[in-house]
Amino acid sequence: MISGKKIVVVMPAYNAAQTLSRTNAEVDRDVVDDIILVDDRSSDNTAEVARRLGIKTFIHLANKGYGGNQKTCYREALKLGADIVIMLHPDYQYTPKLIPSMAWLIAMGEFDCVLGSRILGTGALEGGMPLYKYVANRALTFFQNLMVGHKLSEYHTGYRAFSRQVLENLPLEANDDDFVFDNQMLAQIIFAGYRIGEITCPTRYETESSSISFRRSVVYGLGVLRTSVEFRLAKMGLRHSPIFDIPPRSERRTVEA
């Protein structure tokens, strides 16, 4: 715990058996109270490895997609009584050593959401990020910052920490079950007026690290553009979108002190 806040790490997993042990070994259990892994019907023995490591493991009987996996992660974390939830990919692409820093920023009341950004600093390309992904990341981020009126270094990191209030008040079930879920969630957080912080995260692309294909990257990019336009139209009151059907502050759930 940090300042009496229960910290839960969630790992949306798909074929992560080769990297899960290394990822788990770097999680600071003096800070983290529980770890949850949701296996999205992997074809390897991810779930077996997770259970052997003592991780609370949930298995989808059918593949629900990256977004569908996260929905299960957050539901189960809230059931455990989490005050702060940190999503960490089990493919060892993001270092677990940043978990205490990300959790502290939320526990101390500075932010409602904290992102581990690969773009802050200069190490993205040096860390192995493919050039086309780096260029696409910068272009999509520039466009989205303009559309949503915010200023983030990137919207596409998979390393994120959230307060309980954020997870309880966003209509996450309305989001897509594929990769664009991540982007929709950040757009919702901005739409709701929650505070977002960023810290520099080393970039680490290895052979075992998960990566979506070029075709799926294009689909994701189009989804980001669509989400940005939907955000702007919803803010202007020109179009209702279920993903931005967020209760006003006075009606949101809060955590008792």
| Unique residue bearing structure tokens 């569908």 | 68
Could you tell me the residue ranges of all domains in the chain? 7-246
- The predicted model gives 102-110 an average pLDDT of 96
Neighbour-count burial of 96, counting CB atoms closer than 10 A to its CB (0-12 exposed, 13-18 middle, 19+ buried): buried
Q: How far apart are CA 208 and CA 45, in angstroms?
A: 15
Q: How far apart are CA 231 and CA 102, in angstroms?
A: 27
Residue 256 confidence (pLDDT) above 60: no
Tell me the CATH number for domain 7-246: 3.90.550.10
Residue 6 confidence (pLDDT) above 90: yes
Could you tell me which residue, 202 or 122, shows the higher pLDDT?
202
Tokens read off for 45: 């023995």
Tokens read off for 51: 């259970």
The per-residue pLDDT for range 23-64, each reduced to its tens digit, is 999 999 999 999 999 999 999 999 999 999 999 999 999 999
Could you tell me which residue, 100 or 217, shows the higher pLDDT?
100
Q: In this prediction, what percent of the chain has a pLDDT beyond 70? A: 96
Q: How far apart are CA 44 and CA 214, in angstroms?
A: 23
Tokens read off for 50: 């997770």
**Overall pTM surpassing 0.75 (yes/no):** yes
Q: How far apart are CA 46 and CA 237, in angstroms?
A: 45
- CA 146 to centroid of chain Cα atoms: 22
What pLDDT does residue 121 have?
A: 78
Residue 210 confidence (pLDDT) above 70: no
Please choose, from the candidates 72, 21, 26, the residue with its C-alpha nearest in 3D space to the C-alpha of residue 44. Answer: 21
Residue 257 confidence (pLDDT) above 80: no
What pLDDT does residue 250 have?
A: 78
Tokens read off for 230: 């939907």
Please report which confidence band the pLDDT of residue 96 belongs to, taking 50, 70 and 90 as the band edges.
very high
β-strand 84-87 against 113-117: which pairing, if any? unpaired
